[in-house]
């Protein structure tokens, strides 16, 4: 408990909500107030002034800025996201179909990163400064250096064109069945997840190696644990805070930063939608997308903060 009796977790949640409100102001300012009239863009340069004024009135552009911000934000909260200028469909529907691709893709990629990165980091830590460690870290360095799209192209060459195990690209939609949907996401998830696995392996190894040197690990061994058991029971739980912090950053990146891999595999994901709506000046869609990604990042950060409070009892008290 803190002075004033407010638990730390409540303070963190309040801070996250405040961040979202501030972000909405920034997004609104960037998209609506800065030069460039959306109505003028829609009508083109030949538009007559009275047509332009009518459209501005119809779009609500003639109202004061703070009021427009509030209407937009409360609309977002109620789920009224407006209509996409480019596609002519409700933004909510558009974003939902894209998120149905991007979210599973990010989760799968995270699974690849955790499933490969953490065991590799643990393996390297147990063989600190020996051959196994050096080999693992060398592979991780290659994984870090090679761009995800290049890994994607190699994967397509091998598994789609060579072995014909998995589709080379495109997304059949979840209506075509969970299996074929997932199959379409496997190669992109590996391409996205491998560089992240390399980062995670390095973070895990460093954290574990540092903790294995600490006194309490020796104490645990004096109780009767072997080195490996002490690593699993004492070093790993204490190494989780840095690992979880990195995972949180990675998830945000995987959700929003998959544009290139989505392009390599022709996936209809959020990343491509961002690029398309920027190109088409589709402001309602863009505003909604940016807010969605901001919300996702803030939410993941909040989850990481709350998890860290659980993992390290010392954080719960410090002021």
Compute the least distance from the CB of residue 255 to another protein, in Å.
Answer: 30
Q: What residues form DSSP beta bridges with 90?
A: 83
Binder among 221, 242, 266, 299 for another protein (CB under 8 A) = 221
Compute the least distance from the CB of residue 167 to another protein, in Å.
Answer: 45
Alpha carbon of 71 to those of 25, 91, 190, 264: distances in Å?
12, 16, 41, 38
Contact 248, 212 (CB under 8 A): no
Structure token digits, residue 301: 């950060």
Binding part of the chain for another protein, among 14-22, 39-47, 184-192, 224-232 by CB under 8 A, reads 224-232
Question: Which DSSP string do the residues of 157-183 spell out, in sequence order?
Answer: IIIIIIS--S-SS----GGG-HHHHHH
**Rule CB under 8 A: is residue 225 a binding residue for another protein?**
yes
Backbone phi, then psi, for 281, in 5-degree steps? 50, 35
Backbone phi, then psi, for 201, in 5-degree steps? -60, -45
**Rule CB under 8 A: is residue 226 a binding residue for another protein?**
yes
Binder among 45, 131, 145, 222 for another protein (CB under 8 A) = 222
Binder among 218, 232, 275, 278 for another protein (CB under 8 A) = 218
Binding part of the chain for another protein, among 22-30, 158-166, 227-235, 295-303 by CB under 8 A, reads 227-235
Contact 192, 160 (CB under 8 A): no
Instruction: State the binding string over 231-270 for another protein (x if CB under 8 A, else -).
Output: ---x--xx--------------------------------
Count of other CB atoms within 10 angstroms of residue 81: 22
Binder among 70, 229, 275, 278 for another protein (CB under 8 A) = 229
Ramachandran assignment for 177, one of left (phi > 0), alpha (psi -120 to 50 degrees), beta (any other): left
Footprint of another protein on 260-319 (CB under 8 A)? 311-314, 317-319
Q: What residues form DSSP beta bridges with 83?
A: 90
**Rule CB under 8 A: is residue 63 a binding residue for another protein?**
no
Structure token digits, residue 212: 């294995």
Binder among 25, 223, 232, 275 for another protein (CB under 8 A) = 223
The H or E element containing residue 307 is: helix 283-311
Is the Cβ of residue 78 or residue 318 nearer to another protein in the bound state?
318
Whole-angstrom Cα distance, residue 158 to residue 156? 5
Is the Cβ of residue 98 or residue 234 nearer to another protein in the bound state?
234
Instruction: State the binding string over 1-30 for another protein (x if CB under 8 A, else -).
Output: xxxx--------------------------
- Contacts with another protein by CB under 8 A lie at 1-4, 214-216, 218-227, 229, 234, 237-238, 311-314, 317-319
């Amino acid at each position: 408990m803190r002075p004033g009796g407010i638990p730390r977790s409540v303070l963190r949640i309040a801070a996250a909500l405040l961040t979202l409100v501030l972000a909405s102001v920034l997004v609104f300012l960037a998209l609506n107030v800065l030069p460039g009239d959306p109505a003028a863009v829609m009508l083109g340069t030949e538009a007559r002034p009275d047509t332009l004024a009518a459209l501005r009135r119809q779009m609500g552009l003639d109202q004061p800025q703070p009021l427009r911000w509030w209407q937009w934000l409360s609309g977002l909260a109620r789920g009224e996201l407006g209509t996409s200028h480019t596609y002519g469909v409700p933004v909510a529907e558009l974003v939902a179909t894209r998120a149905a691709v991007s979210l599973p893709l990010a989760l799968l990629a995270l699974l690849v990163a955790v499933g490969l990165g953490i065991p590799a980091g643990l393996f390297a830590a147990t063989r600190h400064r020996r051959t196994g460690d050096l080999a693992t870290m060398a592979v991780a360095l290659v994984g870090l250096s090679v761009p995800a799209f290049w890994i994607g192209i190699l994967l397509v060459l091998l598994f789609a064109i060579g072995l014909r195990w998995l589709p080379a690209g495109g997304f059949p939609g979840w209506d075509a069945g969970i299996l074929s949907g997932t199959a379409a996401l496997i190669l992109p998830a590996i391409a996205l997840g491998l560089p992240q696995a390399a980062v995670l392996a390095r973070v895990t190894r460093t954290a574990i190696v540092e903790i294995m040197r600490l006194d309490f690990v020796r104490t645990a061994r004096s109780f009767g644990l072997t080195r490996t058991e002490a690593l699993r029971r004492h070093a790993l739980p204490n190494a989780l805070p840095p690992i979880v912090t990195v995972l949180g950053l990675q998830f945000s990146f995987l959700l929003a930063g998959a544009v290139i891999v989505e392009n390599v595999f022709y996936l209809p994901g959020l990343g491509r939608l961002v690029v398309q709506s920027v190109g088409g000046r589709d402001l309602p869609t863009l505003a909604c997308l940016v807010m969605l990604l901001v919300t996702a990042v803030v939410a993941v950060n909040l989850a990481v903060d709350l998890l860290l409070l659980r993992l390290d009892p010392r954080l719960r008290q410090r002021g």
